[in-house]
Amino acid sequence: MAACIFCKIIKGEIPSFKLFESEKVFAFLDIQPLSHGHSLIIPKHHGEKLTDIPDDQLSEILSVTKRIAAASGATDYNILQNNGRIAHQEVGHVHFHMIPKPNAEEGLG
């Protein structure tokens, strides 16, 4: 979709810190991270909500999300996925948040 921020990021029209790219999936760092390593994992296919994404793409998105969580080194993390304005979705292109929770003993966050 032409006006979509995340579609522009996929095309390289808006810069991002890319973490992963395949034929169907793209992942990058969140511009306003809630913690160090806060990442966004998205389908390249534009869809607004989870229900707009074909099943065959969801499995790869979850797999990439899992691998990015592992690569972050965090033992604890949140995976979040908002659908619709009332549910706090700000960008209308489906995305999964991977938000590492810093180890308590490190005294961060």
Residue 16 in the binding site for ligand 5GP (CB under 6 A): yes
Residue list 59-98, contact with ligand 5GP (CB under 6 A):
82, 88-91
- Interacting residue with ligand 5GP among 28, 68, 72, 94 (CB under 6 A): 28
Query: Taking Cα atoms as reference points, which of 49, 47, 103 lies closest to residue 72?
Result: 103
- Interacting residue with ligand 5GP among 4, 30, 44, 67 (CB under 6 A): 30
Distances, alpha carbon 30 to alpha carbons 3, 27, 60, 105, in Å: 19, 9, 20, 25
Question: Which residues are designated catalytic?
Answer: 95
